[in-house]
Structure formats: structure tokens, C-alpha cells
Amino acid sequence: MTPWLEPGLHAGILALALAIDLVFGEPPARLHPVVWMGAAIGWLRDRAPQDDARARFGWGLMMALVLPAGCAALGALAMALPGVGVALGVLLTTSALAVRSLGEGGARVGDPLQAGDLEGARQGLSWLCSRDPDGLSAEELAGAAVESLAENASDAAIAPVFWFVLLGVPGALAYRCVNTMDAMIGYRGRYEWLGKAAARLDDVLNLVPARLTAVLLVLAAPERRWAGARVAWRDAGGTASPNAGWPMSAMAGLLGVQLTKRGHYALGDPGEPLRAAHIAQAWAVAWRAMVGGALAAVGGLALAQWP
């Protein structure tokens, strides 16, 4: 049960935030709370200890604890402001969602790929995910875009909605802060020790949403439902991430394709070669899963208002 005294109010906030995101997309960068989060993360990242691994880990742990807590506190403070609290809650919740921009990211790869413009597709993939696009074939570009659409269905909608239902606007903002930190410093190499705490916290916060996303993807494609469920159950553990494999393997089964990353994983059964049309199919499934999941959350909160 939601801890909020007025779950009906929060149902309205979430419904309006979803509508704004679907119609208008993300706010301008100068007004985007997630851009502000990124600036704060970057400021602290650039001032981290440089040589000692333990010191860098400690600094990263501080970032992983303080920044999300600060975002949650600011969200709670905004909601408490008389007269404007609800409006600010809607805008802040909107900033935690990215449904429309995810679809635009898929199109940045799919449209040039459909036109045979591999270089344009590679540039589009750089915008959509962190994988190095240089040297990727058309099939690999399509596969990477499909994987990103599936995995980011959780990050862009299902996970922030999940934490909104549990903890309201503060929960959605704290999740988005952790997810942004993971994207900026939570990977091996230069930032491995600095970003280790953020990466592990992101894993924990996504344990339920990633699996819920896989379920919603399967429900969103009834004609291939059993294939999606079968592949997800079989192949979800094939990735290094404890979470990414669930939505990606579900999508592989739903599309009847195999999603691969050289030297890392192969999800799904070998099928027809991946192409631009699969990106559009993946987006259609992801859109139904994200919007359907968010509307189910709105309905659940509204019902919780009833005595």
C-alpha cells in the first residue's frame, strides 16, 4: 500500500506527468532537473581523489548516498510548498520520465539505417547508448538499438514509476539521480572505483523494475507472449548485469531474433537478420509496456484512495 495520505492526488500527478512527457518530451536542458543532477555529479566527480583506489571508492560512496538523498529532500520540499507544490510535483515527475525521448532515440538509429546511412545510424546509436558504434555492421546497429529500447524501457518509465508509487516524487527523483550517476561513472575503466557504489546501488534499485519490465513487455505482445517468456526465463542470466538481461531477452523472444554483443552474450534463438524494421517493432512493444505499466500504476493509486 502506498504510504501517501492522498494516493488519489499522486495518481493525478503521475497521469499528468506521463501525458506531458508523451506530448512534449523532455524539458529544455536549462530547465531539466536531470541535467542539474548531471552537473552536480560531474562537479563532484572532477574533484574526486585521483590516485588512491580506497579514497576514490569512499568519495563515490559519499556521492551515491548524499546526492540521491539531496534530490529526494528537494522533491519533498517542493511538494510541501503551499500553492505550487502539486504543480512542481508534476514537473519534477515529468523530468524523471523519458518515454518520448526513448522513442526518438530509437528513430535516430532506425531511420538512417532504413535509408542505408550506416554513419548516420552510428551517430544515432551514440546518442541512444554508450556502446562504441565504430565498426558495427547494420545488423549489429539494429541489435544494439533493440537492446537499448528494451533495457531503457525500465530506466525511462517502469523504474521511476515504481519508485514513485512507493515513495512519491522524492522516490522518483532519487532513482533518477542514481541512474544518472550510474550512466556517468558506473562502469569499468577510469571511473571503476569511483562509480562502484553508484553502480551497485543502481543494480539494487532496478532488481524489481527490470523484472517487472520483462513481464510488461511480454504482456504487450500477446501474439509472441510465450516465446518472450520462455527466452526471458532461459537467457536473462546471460548478461554481466543482474538486471539488463531480463528485458533484453524478453524482447529477443518477442521479436524472434538473437541479440548479441561480441564476446559478451547471445540472447534469444538465431532467427532472421536484424534490420531497421525490428527497431520499430521493438519500440511499439516497449511503448505499450511503458504506457500500460504507468497507467496501471495510476489506476492502482486511484483505487487506493477509495475507503
For 73-111, what is each residue's pLDDT tens digit?
Answer: 999 999 999 999 999 999 999 999 999 999 999 999 999
Q: Which band of pLDDT confidence, cut at 50, 70 and 90, is reported for residue 200?
A: very high
User: Could you report how far apart the first and last alpha carbons of the chain are, in Å?
Assistant: 13
38-47, 124-133, 249-258: range with lowest mean pLDDT: 124-133
Domain housing 185: 7-207+275-305
Tell me whether residue 287 is in a domain. yes
Three cell numbers written together for 16: 499528468
Report the alpha-carbon distance of residue 232 to residue 250 in Å, rounded: 4
Q: By the 8 A CB rule, do 104 and 22 touch?
A: no
Give the orientation angle of helix 159-185 with respect to helix 53-80, to 10 degrees.
140
Q: How far is CA 198 from the centre of its chain?
A: 15
Tell me whether residue 239 is in a domain. no
pLDDT of residue 57: 97
pLDDT of residue 4: 57
Give me the mean pLDDT over the 48-62 stretch.
Answer: 95
Percent of the chain at pLDDT exceeding 70 = 98
pLDDT of residue 190: 85
Tell me whether residue 226 is in a domain. no
Angle at 256 between CA 117 and CA 228, to 5 degrees: 125
pLDDT of residue 77: 96
pLDDT of residue 271: 86
Tell me whether residue 259 is in a domain. no
Task: State the sign of the Cα–Cα–Cα–Cα dihedral 55, 56, 61, 67.
Answer: positive
pLDDT of residue 2: 44
Q: What is the pTM of this model?
A: 0.95
Give me the mean pLDDT over the 166-179 stretch.
Answer: 97
Tell me whether residue 261 is in a domain. no
Q: Higher-confidence residue: 50 or 3?
A: 50
Tell me whether residue 251 is in a domain. no
Give me the mean pLDDT over the 121-140 stretch.
Answer: 90
Which among 202, 174, 179, 206 is positioned nearest to 70, based on CA atoms?
174
- pLDDT > 90? residue 187: no
For the chain, how many structural domains are there in total?
1
Percent of the chain at pLDDT exceeding 90 = 88
Tell me whether residue 23 is in a domain. yes
Report the alpha-carbon distance of residue 111 to residue 214 in Å, rounded: 26
Tell me whether residue 101 is in a domain. yes
Three cell numbers written together for 120: 548516420
Amino acid at 111: D
Three cell numbers written together for 249: 531477452
Q: By the 8 A CB rule, do 160 and 213 touch?
A: no
Mean per-residue pLDDT of the chain: 94
- pLDDT > 70? residue 300: yes
- pLDDT > 90? residue 305: no
- pLDDT > 50? residue 1: no
